[in-house]
Structure 1
Amino acid sequence: MGTESQHSALDEVLGFVSLVKIDSRANGLPVSNYDLHRIIYSLFDSFEEKNMFSSVCNSAPQKMGRILFSENTTTEDCQNRSVILLSPEKPMPQKNFSGTIQTKELRRSFLGYDKYNFSLLVNPTKCESLTKKRKAISGEENVKNWFIKKSDDFGISVKKENLEVRSMPSQKIEKPNETIIHYHRVKILGTLAVSDRGSFVRTVLQGIGRGRSFGLGLMQVIPYKN
């Protein structure tokens, strides 16, 4: 009975991972960053935030599931905008959606390994003590130090020599008739070891940092192989 329960827990579906390709030329206009956000969220018209963590780890406080995505577009596929999407519910395209969606389940067992390779597009910031405003963190060493300092909260252990930081173009979000938002972006790649399973699962499902509604903060992980 105990063994069956353990197998059942490992088979638990924690969310859905999708590869979404959007035809950028379907309407004769390029897809802006805000359009991309709007299209992704339109796949969840019936989406209601649900408690995703009541069974993820026994001692974890209740948290809400959220939609996370990261653009995966390549220069070879410039006609489409390609997105890796993690969501608590399966995406359901509307009639006017122009593109393709491939979805598979994310099971607890996939997040049960001890070591992973990871990739993270993130907006690292710090709070200025005097102004209390958020300030972007830039520079390879500064970003590495920020990530290492935060790693305990993420339920992971990382070594500086195993991290790579790539500066990315800033992201402009231009919502009609509203203030333009700019997000400073860096990509962090490397190897991590899981130090706290519950916090690690929460990090993967909840994302990291600001701008998570606009394609930032999704930690993509692959089990580490020598």
Structure 2
Amino acid sequence: MTLYISALNLDARAHRRLNITDNYSLHRVVYSLFDDVRSEQQKQCSVASGIQWVDKGGDMRGRRILIMADRAPGEPEAGELETKILSETFLTHPYYRFSICLNPTRRNKHTGKQIPVIGREAICAWFCQRAAGWGFDVQPGQVQTESINVQQMKIAAGKIITLQQATLSGRLTVTHPEIFKNSFMHGIGRGRAFGCGLLQIVPLPEITFFE
């Protein structure tokens, strides 16, 4: 599968034109760049859109959005868009430096509802415990929880969605290449439509002590 990596740069003028106020409006802007190729049946089953994105920060004066998709984006209504195709060898390395914005939750045993994981140490432990299921290993000493914030987004009919986001970074070791590739291609965790789950990685060299 060909993957397209894009960076959408928004200045103050683009911010105003696109009426960006929260992550829901960013979701709207990102998804407007792509045709929805799902069938009606796939939409009813909540099949993944093939689009991942993350807000890399900024404000109304300037903001950068990273996007990865299984198809090329169209021209943006406002802002500047750069797009590259991911190299076929990018996912063949054993070690990566990573950064990821996640929605850390766990299921309440009594109610069955998803509840947020609270606290930096608890979020770090939650991530390390689940890493094997995503095809890689992360040791607690190799990851840090950089920031935690709560997003409130207004959607249709006045409904408000509250979403906790935690940004983690560190070093990972690939343990199951195919599972890791799937995690990278499709994202991990919940809240992917709203800027969570995109695994941003940079290959690290293998460490050798003897030639």
TM range (shorter): 0.7 to 0.9
Distance 1:170 1:64, change over 3 A: closer
Give RMSD over aligned pairs.
Answer: 2.1
Give the SS at the match of 2:180. Answer: helix
Quick check: 1:196 aligned with 2:176?
Answer: yes
| Alpha carbons 1:42, 1:93 under 8 Å: kept | no
TM-score (normalised: structure 1): 0.80
**Which whole-Å CA distance do the structure 2 matches of 1:152 and 1:66 have between them?**
23
**Which whole-Å CA distance do the structure 1 matches of 2:2 and 2:178 have between them?**
13
**Which whole-Å CA distance do the structure 2 matches of 1:130 and 1:167 have between them?**
29
**Which whole-Å CA distance do the structure 2 matches of 1:122 and 1:135 have between them?**
14
Once the 2 structures are TM-superposed, how far is the Cα of residue 182 of structure 1 from its aligned partner?
A: 0.8
| Alpha carbons 2:18, 2:78 under 8 Å: kept | no
Once the 2 structures are TM-superposed, how far is the Cα of residue 210 of structure 1 from its aligned partner?
A: 1.3
Alignment gaps of 5+ in structure 2: 40-46
| Alpha carbons 1:21, 1:81 under 8 Å: kept | yes
2:185 counterpart residue number: 205
**Which whole-Å CA distance do the structure 1 matches of 2:29 and 2:192 have between them?**
15
1:92 counterpart residue number: 74
Distance 1:178 1:191, change over 3 A: same
Question: What amino acid is aligned across from residue 135 of structure 1 in structure 2?
Answer: I
1:216 counterpart residue number: 196
Structure 1 consecutive aligned stretches of length 4 or more whose deviation exceeds 6 Å:
none
1:15 counterpart residue number: 3
Q: How many residues align?
A: 197
Once the 2 structures are TM-superposed, how far is the Cα of residue 114 of structure 1 from its aligned partner?
A: 0.4
Percent identical: 29
Q: What pairs up with 1:41-190 in 2 under 5 angstroms?
A: 41-44=31-34, 46-49=35-38, 66-74=50-58, 78-93=60-75, 97-190=77-170
Distance 1:150 1:70, change over 3 A: same
Distance 1:49 1:191, change over 3 A: farther
Alignment gaps of 5+ in structure 1: 1-12, 51-62
